[in-house]
């Protein structure tokens, strides 16, 4: 993900698919942090992460 204009800090990233696990990773596959997949009352799934302005983050999702 690339944050072109947003402010830094914790942001919600909504995902349009079912995932069983998510992690923030380096490009070489090393896990930085495990992300918790949340679900709101409407059934939408999201993860929270911090991306500074003009920052890049790689998120790996797993599903069954």
Question: Whole-model pTM above 0.75?
Answer: yes
Residue given tokens 């679900």 in the structure block: 39
CA distance 18 to 5: 27
Q: Kindly give the confidence (pLDDT) of every residue in the chain, 64 residues in length, as a single tens digit, with 9 standing for 90 and above.
A: 998 887 778 889 999 999 999 999 999 999 999 999 999 999 999 999 999 989 999 999 998 7
DSSP of the chain: -B-SS--SSEEEEEESS--SEEEEE-TTS-EEEEEPPEE-TTS-EEEEEE--TT-B-EEEEE--
């Amino acid at each position: 993900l690339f944050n072109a204009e947003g402010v830094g800090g914790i942001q919600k990233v909504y995902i349009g698919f079912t995932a069983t696990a998510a992690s923030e990773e380096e490009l070489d596959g090393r896990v930085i942090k495990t992300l918790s997949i949340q679900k709101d009352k409407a059934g939408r799934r999201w993860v929270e992460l911090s991306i500074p302005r003009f920052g890049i983050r790689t998120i790996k999702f797993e599903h069954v």
